[in-house]
Chain A
Amino acid sequence: MRKSILSTTFLAGALFTPLGWSQSTMPSASTAAGAAGTVKAPGAIGVISGQTQSQGAQAAAAPLQPDAVAAPTPPHSDWWAPGSGATLPATIDYVEPTGKVGLLNANGSLDTKGHPFFEPIGRNGRACVSCHQPANAMSISAEALEKRWRDSNGKDPVFSAVDGSNCPSAPQDLESSHSLLLQRGLFRIFLPWPPKAADGSSIQPEFDLELVSDPTGCNSDPIYGLHSPNPQVSVFRRPRVVANIKYVVSGYGAAFNIKDGSPMERDPATGKFVNMNIMADAREPTPATQAANASITHLQAASQPTAAQLQKILDFENQLYVAATVSTTGGSLTEEGGPSGLGPEALRLGTPGLGDNFYTPVFGYFDQWAAPSGHDTQSEFRASVARGMDVFFTRPFYIRDVTHLNTVGLGNPIKRTCATCHNARMTGMDTAPGWMDLGTANKPWSDDLPMTAELPLFKLTCRPGAKPHPYLGTVVYTHDPGRALISGRCLDMGAITMQQFRGLAARAPYFSNGSAKTLRDLVDYYDKRFEAGYTETEKQDLVNFLGVL
């Protein structure tokens, strides 16, 4: 860390005050009032991010389930248990509610025996695969979790107390103690408050955080809560897809965030600027730091993975592609002559970048399906998908009051389309840092989503001198402060990084807080939030389009 210093020329403040000058007063190591100049920004050193140490301390305190590892996996189950030692084929399809989702290992089949993604390298019996299941497009669905609860009598390590329950202090044998995971696929994410800089020191936030309601009890818990000796905020979020990584981490590379002018974070390994697009709050700059953090927090490992383990995890993730392959109604999604952007092979072949909507469309063209070849169900479904693509890319509506979209110089409101934000080729993420306040976490918009009463509610109050949230003002009520829990900025309150669109049908529910149980719920939220005025046909077309990705 560098410290700025003040030339002694300016220490005689009284001399300059009449002329209206002030200055930072700080010869190095000085404690003069007003001294600042130390840059405290989130990030990582080595593979350890600033928040990892305090998170690790809470993870270490959380109880372990002694019999978790022994949880049986029934024959013919799609559940991938840690340490199974099975082979993950080069290509494999899994049945999901509306068809099949396919995985493609570009480097060929993988012997998972001893592989750190598939082996329990922590203390609680979990592996990375526990929450990133192949059958669920490398995320996990609430339906799969509910089935696994029944199959394992709640003993699978995925239900570990640390974050697979509403709070580690809750009675772990009760189903109700895991209600957010079982009903909405939400894991507890515990983050230090105040936020931590890359070196683990505290960042002074621009706002005060108060607990308004705490249905899980974890934010007010004496061991795990906000006022514990190791103060942590608990929010509840869905696991993200661990596949198609070249698209997720690519692009950008600029020194400044195009959306707010703030400096970008660097990859601690290379020194290069990263795109800050992984994780809901972009708290980890790279997949390597994410894996190291996840092993310490989610797997309750006593230490970070070895360099060799990390490399194997990254090698696996970087060659893995996931997408829908079959639609029950629409048939094969990968047949020759079909839309070019569907299926995992298309992702392997594709090139990351900005999907200019018509020159290089985000998901390719669907013209092949636009004109129904007959009145059969498959043809009509495919035509609906093609219309859905058109709605997604060309149907304008007014997008308003979205921080990090309407604040970036485009104006508020802006008449554009879904693809204005979802512009990255093949994933529909944002090529720029993708956290935005869509309203899914913040009141009043979150009130339109079901089950938010079961989530904690925080009152965030911007401190004097801090610029308020651009559209909600000085006081914001939120179920998840989002990026603001990392940056400490009012500007980031409730801002959540958007997720990729692939394999959606295999991994309901949707949104970071799992509040949209179905794709139709998701479309309905957007329709209401932005008064888009979609017709029933447009809504169904959008659902069908999203479902085949």
Chain B
Amino acid sequence: MRLSSVLCRMLWSCLLVVPAAQGADRRVAFVGCPILRNTTLPCWLGETGGELYYLGPQGDLTADFYPPEFRHKMLVQGVVSDQPRICGGLVLKPVKVSVLPALDINCNVMLPAAAYPDPPNKRGSGPSGVKGGALPPAPPRPVPAIFAAPYTTRTFTAVFDADSERLWRPAQVAVETAARYATEARASTIDILAYRASFRLSDGTDYVEAKSIGQSRARAIEQALITVGVPRESRIVVRWKTAAMPSNQLQENNRAQSVSITVKPG
């Protein structure tokens, strides 16, 4: 990390002389240590090529943005927005951050708040809500898909963070939905197919997921399906791809970081 650049961002005066990303391609992709700005509500930053980027605020599990972790590098993919800088960083929006598994004790940089205001967020650093306030309405729950005969072969997609086989909520929903469909359709076969991704970074290099990641993802989905419950008579086929496919975390249902679950009715 270019610390001098980071330190520069601690000062308001620096902001006037650091240009925003220029050109038509405003995409940014890099691997680096996360940086925390110690504002009252902390904000998360990343640095590459001498530029500081704002990733998002500290939040909670209802937020779109899940922050990175000290002691781990992160893979960042984002697009530089036209918004004013936040916490000294160019705003990446959309942005996707994956916490990479290897331990890196050097990822431990906290910047002072300096004069930066808190990043915008609906929740502060303390308790949620207002003392004595009324409980806000719960966010609407996604309506489960309704399945009905005649059943056809359907594929459900569980997407993972880079180099991770952890099932975050969207992947859990994919598993639960696939299991329900398999049960209702009395599936003869459930085909689990996992992929492995590579990411082209802004510096021209590639970040490639671990060779075993496809297998790990396939096994995680297999175990999850069985635990949630699929018909005993269903044959589960587990496959994974060892060759890495180009990936972009910002794409929805990004295939290269996914496991497809194909349910064939009996």
The chain A residues found within 8 Å of chain B, CB to CB, are 2, 4-7, 10, 19-24, 36-37, 39, 41, 255-256, 258, 260-264, 356-360, 393-394, 396, 400-401, 406-417, 419, 465, 467-468, 470-474
Q: Are A413 and B36 in contact (CB under 8 A)?
A: yes
Q: Are A412 and B127 in contact (CB under 8 A)?
A: no
Among B132, B168, B222, B242, which residue has its beta carbon within 8 angstroms of that of A37?
A: B222
Q: Are B61 and A358 in contact (CB under 8 A)?
A: no
CB distance from A45 to the nearest CB of B (A): 15
- The tally of CB-CB contacts under 8 A between chains A and B is 155
Instruction: Chain A residues near B228: list those with CB within 8 A.
Output: 255, 263
CB distance from B135 to the nearest CB of A (A): 4
Q: Are A417 and B127 in contact (CB under 8 A)?
A: yes
CB distance from B234 to the nearest CB of A (A): 9
The CA of A84 and the CA of B73, in the complex, are separated in Å by 61
Q: Are A406 and B69 in contact (CB under 8 A)?
A: yes
- Residue on A nearest B237 in the bound complex, by CB: A7
Among A36, A256, A465, which residue has its beta carbon within 8 angstroms of that of B172?
A: A256
In the complex, besides A394-B126, A473-B103, 7 extra interface pairs with C-beta distance below 8 angstroms are: A4-B236, A5-B235, A23-B238, A356-B127, A356-B128, A470-B69, A470-B72
Known: A358-B133, A413-B36. A22 touches B215 (CB 8 A): yes
Q: Are B167 and A261 in contact (CB under 8 A)?
A: yes
Known: A2-B232, A408-B61. A261 touches B166 (CB 8 A): yes
Instruction: Chain B residues near A23: list those with CB within 8 A.
Output: 237-240
Known: A24-B239, A411-B66. A359 touches B133 (CB 8 A): yes
Among B125, B131, B176, B226, which residue has its beta carbon within 8 angstroms of that of A415?
A: B125
CB distance from A522 to the nearest CB of B (A): 21
B47-81 interface (Cβ within 8 A of A): 58-61, 66-72
Instruction: Chain A residues near B171: list those with CB within 8 A.
Output: 261
Instruction: Chain B residues near A357: list those with CB within 8 A.
Output: 126-129
Q: Are A41 and B227 in contact (CB under 8 A)?
A: yes
Show 27 residue pairs from A and B whose CB-CB distance is below 8 angstroms, ordered by the A residue: A4-B226, A4-B235, A21-B240, A23-B237, A23-B239, A23-B240, A39-B226, A255-B176, A258-B61, A261-B220, A262-B167, A358-B129, A359-B133, A393-B126, A396-B125, A409-B66, A409-B67, A410-B58, A412-B69, A412-B72, A413-B36, A414-B58, A414-B67, A415-B58, A417-B126, A417-B127, A472-B103
Known: A6-B237, A21-B239, A406-B69. A360 touches B135 (CB 8 A): yes
Known: A406-B69, A417-B127. A5 touches B241 (CB 8 A): no
Known: A10-B237, A19-B243. A410 touches B67 (CB 8 A): yes
Instruction: Chain A residues near B227: list those with CB within 8 A.
Output: 39, 41, 255, 263-264
Q: Are B224 and A37 in contact (CB under 8 A)?
A: no
Instruction: Chain A residues near B224: list those with CB within 8 A.
Output: 256, 263
CB distance from B125 to the nearest CB of A (A): 4
Among A6, A264, A410, A465, which residue has its beta carbon within 8 angstroms of that of B60?
A: A410
Does B253 interact with chain A (Cβ within 8 Å)?
Answer: no
Known: A21-B242, A22-B239, A263-B224. A467 touches B232 (CB 8 A): no
Instruction: Chain A residues near B68: list those with CB within 8 A.
Output: 411-412
- Residue on B nearest A43 in the bound complex, by CB: B227
Known: A411-B58, A411-B68. A416 touches B126 (CB 8 A): yes
Instruction: Chain A residues near B241: list those with CB within 8 A.
Output: 20-22
CB distance from B178 to the nearest CB of A (A): 12
Top-4 shortest CB links A-B = A20-B243, A411-B67, A357-B127, A261-B167
Q: Are A411 and B126 in contact (CB under 8 A)?
A: no
The 8 A CB mask of B202-237 against A (1 = contact, 0 = none) is: 000000000010110011101110111000100111
CB distance from A265 to the nearest CB of B (A): 9
CB distance from A243 to the nearest CB of B (A): 27
Instruction: Chain B residues near A37: list those with CB within 8 A.
Output: 222, 236, 238
The CA of A263 and the CA of B176, in the complex, are separated in Å by 11
Does B181 interact with chain A (Cβ within 8 Å)?
Answer: no
Does B117 interact with chain A (Cβ within 8 Å)?
Answer: no
B114-144 interface (Cβ within 8 A of A): 125-135
Known: A255-B172, A261-B167. A407 touches B69 (CB 8 A): yes
Known: A410-B67, A417-B126. A261 touches B239 (CB 8 A): no
Q: Which residue among B134, B168, B191 has the maximum number of chain A CB atoms within 10 Å of its CB?
A: B168
Known: A23-B238, A359-B133, A411-B69. A419 touches B226 (CB 8 A): no
Q: Are A22 and B242 in contact (CB under 8 A)?
A: yes
Q: Are A410 and B133 in contact (CB under 8 A)?
A: no
Q: Are A358 and B222 in contact (CB under 8 A)?
A: no
Q: Which residue among B41, B129, B168, B226 has the maximum number of chain A CB atoms within 10 Å of its CB?
A: B226
CB distance from B120 to the nearest CB of A (A): 16
Among A6, A22, A394, which residue has its beta carbon within 8 angstroms of that of B127?
A: A394
Q: Which residue among A4, A406, A409, A411 has the maximum number of chain B CB atoms within 10 Å of its CB?
A: A411
Does B44 interact with chain A (Cβ within 8 Å)?
Answer: yes
Q: Are A7 and B189 in contact (CB under 8 A)?
A: yes
Instruction: Chain B residues near A410: list those with CB within 8 A.
Output: 58-61, 66-67
The CA of A474 and the CA of B59, in the complex, are separated in Å by 29
Does B88 interact with chain A (Cβ within 8 Å)?
Answer: no
Instruction: Chain A residues near B265: list those with CB within 8 A.
Output: none
Instruction: Chain A residues near B112: list those with CB within 8 A.
Output: none
Q: Are A4 and B71 in contact (CB under 8 A)?
A: no
Instruction: Chain A residues near B172: list those with CB within 8 A.
Output: 255-256, 261
CB distance from A286 to the nearest CB of B (A): 17
Instruction: Chain A residues near B42: list those with CB within 8 A.
Output: 414-415
Q: Which residue among A5, A20, A360, A474 has the maximum number of chain B CB atoms within 10 Å of its CB?
A: A20
Among A264, A359, A408, A417, which residue has its beta carbon within 8 angstroms of that of B135?
A: A359
B147-185 interface (Cβ within 8 A of A): 166-169, 171-172, 176
The CA of A21 and the CA of B227, in the complex, are separated in Å by 26
Does B101 interact with chain A (Cβ within 8 Å)?
Answer: yes
The CA of A356 and the CA of B123, in the complex, are separated in Å by 13
The CA of A393 and the CA of B227, in the complex, are separated in Å by 37
The CA of A406 and the CA of B220, in the complex, are separated in Å by 22
CB distance from A124 to the nearest CB of B (A): 37
- Residue on B nearest A255 in the bound complex, by CB: B228
The CA of A263 and the CA of B60, in the complex, are separated in Å by 22
- Residue on B nearest A27 in the bound complex, by CB: B235
- Residue on B nearest A472 in the bound complex, by CB: B103
The CA of A6 and the CA of B191, in the complex, are separated in Å by 9
Q: Are B70 and A413 in contact (CB under 8 A)?
A: yes
The CA of A358 and the CA of B123, in the complex, are separated in Å by 13
- Residue on A nearest B42 in the bound complex, by CB: A415
Known: A37-B238, A256-B172, A473-B103. A412 touches B61 (CB 8 A): no
